[in-house]
């Protein structure tokens, strides 16, 4: 089978350079060489997270940290903001951890707005909230800085934020926002192989977590902190991922963080323009579109062109490219195109050319 170029919203295409780094020969995870590797990338990770806290590396996908944050921080009750498949599932995960949890949900395609959260937190019932910044299933980017500004009004509520498809795509200054947990995964915005999570935790969250009894071991924030102080991870990590991350950080800083943000903004706009020029409408509410992927409406909402997504996807696959045919309850009534990771104007134009050819075959 020839390799399909991935334009699905994760995993995304991994560069040859990242792969080569991923395949670096193994070292012991308690060796000085490992500590040099881990400690060596901390300054760049802290700059990327915009934090003075240590950035932890977890050998798990993002869900491990999403579940871990619940176990570490929820004592009373958690408010799970729900606006798509990933954020909806976080309510279920909270309950499965045995926590009191309540959902704050909006229609898929709509954003979570700060006033909705304010109203809920004003009840005083909650000591934590979860927010998916960029809801990958709907292509909606929630207004994180407006939401984070509520933190000063509710300092005892732990703000847990998933940035799996927005990290290093848009500016997310962890310390300045004042949020408590910022987490991301390896295989989406960072364009690394799947299997590693990265996260930062506020001092307030570490203090809260210290008082909680049943936080387990594998995702215990204090295990991460204590080991990070010695440039190590609690258990044997995926060392290949850390080599690949080191290589990716070189790429990111060589491009420049601001250039990386503007590249993503430009490419997402190109995809929105491609959709408009082909009479499609967008699924997200206007003004809340993600910068790392585009969720195109195909009948989930009124307006715009409708095609047979499964056939379209198949035609595109025959041209060597994988695109996504919609997630969960909007499968087939939306489709998604990713511009995450290392994509450029050239590679996106190649994608649009293939999409145009396949659209022409459909009618």
Binding positions for ligand PLP, rule: CB under 6 A: 10, 61-63, 86, 132, 134, 136, 162, 164-165, 185, 188
Least Cβ distance, residue 2 to ligand PLP (angstroms)? 25
- Angle, in degrees to the nearest 10, between helices 239-255 and 257-277: 80
Between helix 345-362 and helix 257-277 the angle, nearest 10°, is: 20
Closest separation between CB of residue 333 and ligand PLP, Å?
19
- Considering beta carbons, is residue 232 or 271 the nearer one to ligand PLP? 271
* Residue with Cβ nearer ligand PLP (184 or 304): 184
Pair 223, 174: CB distance under 8 Å: no
* Least distance (Å) between residue 63 CB and ligand PLP: 4
The CB-of-65 to ligand PLP minimum distance in angstroms stands at: 8
User: Quick one: how far is CA 132 from the chain centroid?
Assistant: 8
Q: How far is the CB of 181 from ligand PLP (least distance, A)?
A: 13
Question: Cα separations (Å) of 203 from 35, 63, 157, 181, 357?
Answer: 23, 22, 13, 10, 53
Which of 61, 56, 37, 65 has the alpha carbon at shortest distance from 239? 37
CA distance 97 to 143: 28
CB atoms within 10 A of CB 105: 17
Q: How far is the CB of 250 from ligand PLP (least distance, A)?
A: 23
Sign of CA dihedral 133, 134, 140, 145: positive
Q: Which two tokens stand for residue 273?
A: 């323009």
In this complex, which beta carbon is closest to ligand PLP, that of residue 163 or of residue 297?
163
Q: Which is nearer to ligand PLP, 21 or 65 (CB)?
A: 65
Give percent helix, percent strand, percent coil of the chain, each to the nearest 5.
45, 15, 40
**Nearer to ligand PLP by C-beta: 139 or 304?**
139
**With respect to ligand PLP, which residue has the nearer C-beta, 198 or 315?**
198
Q: Which is nearer to ligand PLP, 48 or 189 (CB)?
A: 189
Q: How far is the CB of 134 from ligand PLP (least distance, A)?
A: 6
Complex with ligand PLP: residue 194 or 332, whichever CB lies closer: 194
**Least Å from the CB of residue 136 to ligand PLP:** 3
Q: Considering only CA atoms, which of 165, 284, 301, 347 is closest in space to residue 355?
A: 347
Q: In this structure, are residues 150 and 114 in contact, taking their beta carbons and an 8 Å threshold?
A: yes
> Do 38 and 232 contact (CB within 8 A), yes or no?
yes
- Could you give the CA distance from residue 80 to residue 73 in angstroms, rounded to a whole number? 13
Q: 223 near 233, Cβ under 8 Å?
A: no
Pair 51, 174: CB distance under 8 Å: yes
> For residue 67, how far is the Cα from the chain centroid?
15
In the bound complex, what is the minimum distance in angstroms from residue 62's beta carbon to ligand PLP? 4
Structure tokens at 152: 């000063």
Q: Looking at beta carbons only, is 56 or 86 nearer to ligand PLP?
A: 86
């Amino acid at each position: 089978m020839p390799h399909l170029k991935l334009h699905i919203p994760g995993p995304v295409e991994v560069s040859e350079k990242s792969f080569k780094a991923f395949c670096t020969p193994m070292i012991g995870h308690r060796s000085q060489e490992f500590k040099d590797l881990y400690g060596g990338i901390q300054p760049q990770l802290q700059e990327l997270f915009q934090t003075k806290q240590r950035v932890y590396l977890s050998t798990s996908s993002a869900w491990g940290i999403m579940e871990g944050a619940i176990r570490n921080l929820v004592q009373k009750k958690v408010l799970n903001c729900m606006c798509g498949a990933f954020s909806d599932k976080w309510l279920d995960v909270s309950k499965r951890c045995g926590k009191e949890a309540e959902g704050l949900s909006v229609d898929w395609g709509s954003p979570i707005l700060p006033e909705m959260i304010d109203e809920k937190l004003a009840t005083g019932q909650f000591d934590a909230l979860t927010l998916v910044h960029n809801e990958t299933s709907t292509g909606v980017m929630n207004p994180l800085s407006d939401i984070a500004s509520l933190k000063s009004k509710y300092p005892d509520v732990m703000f847990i934020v998933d940035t799996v498809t927005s990290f290093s795509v848009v500016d997310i200054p962890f310390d300045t926002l004042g949020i408590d947990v910022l987490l991301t995964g390896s295989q989406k915005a960072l364009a690394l192989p799947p299997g590693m999570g990265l996260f930062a935790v506020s001092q307030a969250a570490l203090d809260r977590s210290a008082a909680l009894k049943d936080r387990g071991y594998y995702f215990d924030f204090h295990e991460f902190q204590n080991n990070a102080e010695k440039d190590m991870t609690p258990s044997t990590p995926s060392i290949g991922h850390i080599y690949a991350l080191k290589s990716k950080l070189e790429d990111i800083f060589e491009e420049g963080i601001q250039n990386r943000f503007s590249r993503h903004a430009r490419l997402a706009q190109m995809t929105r323009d491609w959709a408009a020029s082909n009479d499609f409408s967008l699924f997200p509410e206007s003004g809340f579109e993600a910068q790392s992927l585009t969720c195109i409406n195909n009948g989930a909402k009124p307006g715009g062109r409708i095609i047979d997504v499964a056939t379209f996807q198949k035609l595109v696959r025959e041209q060597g490219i994988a695109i996504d045919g919609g997630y969960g309850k909007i499968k087939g009534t939306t489709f998604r195109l990713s511009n995450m990771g290392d994509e450029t104007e050239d590679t996106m134009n190649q994608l649009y050319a293939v999409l145009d050819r396949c659209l022409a075959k459909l009618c």
